[in-house]
Amino acid sequence: MISSLDITLGLAVLAVTGLCLIPRSRLVITMGFLALGIVVTMVWLRLDSLDVALAEAAIGTGLLSALMVWLAVRSPEPPGAGGMQPSPRLPWLRPLIGLACGGTLAVVAAAVWFRVDQQLPAWQAGVEDQMPDTGVEHPITGVLLAFRAYDTLLESAILMLTAAAVLALCRGGGLSDPGTHRLGVHQTSAPMPPVPSALPWAARLLAPALMLLGLWLLFAGSAESGGAFQSGAVLAAAFILLRTSHVSLGAATAHWLRPVLVGGVVVFILAGLAGPVLGLPWLSWQPEWAFAAVLGVEVLLTAGIAAGLYTLFLTLENPEGVR
């Protein structure tokens, strides 16, 4: 049964999406995007998908918005609008083709979607049967770190390599400073732009609460909603907030960023190697120590995810180090 709340939410999604696409000012677009994240999170909550809602709120809305706000503040106007200008001779042609393609796609997809005989996932029974082998209680954590641990490992590797890519584009290419073990990326010690004095005060107040929230999401994940990705996003947000409000993180970042970044993936693979060493398949954990393995991997993955997301923010400023 479709309630008026559902209809309102659906219309809100459409309206806010328009706000993200139509305005020319990056600041307005960013605000629209923030609002869209909140509305979409509410849609997920309405669908009883607490885990997706948490992930959407933490990563899709929280962190992505931080990157977009930075971009909007630094360069409010899109540079030269690029390929978005109408063609001089037939200005109506591109919008017309776009509308026709979008309309056709929507009609075809909707027609197919309403006709198909949808099946429930075949893995539900299997997940319930095999949960005791995983060492955790929450089915979503079980899927992420036991049944489909391989996907989670590759996804964590993608985030790690994204951070490697942005570090590579910085001055020094992500190497240490000569003769030291400190990351040679100049942004770690670069000053941030001035901010109102209330922000540092608020950030110092908020940071412990965010840390606590992040850790709660991490440890709750084995029994309830939450987990490494959401927790890592909240922790990264705390670091971003501290850096924006001039709390000095430079020395710690230079020492620890790369080891923390790769630690989760390295330990995940080494823990996965325990299977073949004991004559089992890759990524097998015996029920006796499965919980310890899952928890250890999850803690390090969280740290790696937080470090990866923080790296993306850190390296936004002046990547080539040109004065």
Partner 1 sequence: MIPVWSALAEFSLGAVVLAPLLAAAVSMLVPLPARRVLGAAVGLLVAGLVVPLVVSVSAGEVPELVLGGFEAPVGIHLRADGLGAVFLAVTALVGLVLTGYAAVLPAAEGRCAGPKGWQQGHPGFWPLWLGCWSGLNAVVVSGDLFNLYVGLELVGLTAVALVALGGRGSWEAALRYLFVAVLGSLLFLAGVGLLVSVTGTLDIAQTREALAEVADPEAPLLALVLMTLGLGMKAALLPMHRWLVPAHSSAPSGVSPILSGLVIKAALVVLLRAWLWAVPLSGGAQSHAAVQWLAWLLGALGAAAVLGGSVLALRQTRLKPLVAYSTVAQIGYWFLAFPLLVSAEHDDALAAGAYGAVIALAAGHAIAKAGLFAAAGLLKDRYGTDEIAALRGAGAHHPALILAMGLCAVGLIGLPVSLGFTGKWQLATAAIGAGQWWLIVVLAAGTLLAAGYLLRGIAPLLLQSEDEPAAAKPVSVRERLGESAVMLLGLATIGTGLLGAWLGDLLGVGAWW
Rule CB under 8 A: which residues touch partner 1? 108-109, 111-112, 115-123, 126-127, 130, 133, 146-151, 153-155, 157-158, 160-162, 164-165, 167-176, 258-259, 261-262, 265-266, 269-270, 272-273, 275-276, 280-285, 320-321
- Which residues lie across from 176 on neighbouring strands? 183
For residue 170, the minimal CB distance to partner 1 (Å) is 8
Structure tokens at 44: 């997920």
| Smallest distance, partner 1 to C-beta of residue 317, A | 14
DSSP-H helix ranges across the chain? 4-21, 26-46, 50-55, 64-74, 93-115, 123-130, 139-142, 149-168, 198-220, 228-244, 250-277, 287-314
Cβ–Cβ < 8 Å for 13, 54 = no
- CB of 156: closest distance to partner 1 in angstroms? 10
- Which is nearer to partner 1, 89 or 115 (by Cβ)? 115
Count of residues making up the chain: 323
Residue (of 268, 236, 234, 265) closest to 253 by Cα position = 236
Quote the longest CA-to-CA distance of the chain.
Answer: 72
CB of 127 to partner 1, least distance (A): 6
Nearest residue (CB) to partner 1, 238 versus 265: 265
Q: Which is nearer to partner 1, 73 or 270 (CB)?
A: 270
Report whether 105 contacts 116 (CB < 8 A): no
CB of 270 to partner 1, least distance (A): 8
Nearer to partner 1, 184 or 200 (CB): 184
Question: Which of 268/313 has CB closer to partner 1?
Answer: 268
DSSP string, 163-226: HHHHHHTSTTTTPBPTTSSSB--GGGGPPPPP--THHHHHHHHHHHHHHHHHHHHHHHTTTSS-
Minimum CB separation of residue 316 from partner 1 in Å reads: 15
- Min dist. Cβ of residue 166 to partner 1 (A): 8
Q: 118 or 197: whose CB is closer to partner 1?
A: 118
First and final C-alpha spacing in the chain = 60
Residue whose CB is less far from partner 1, 94 or 148: 148
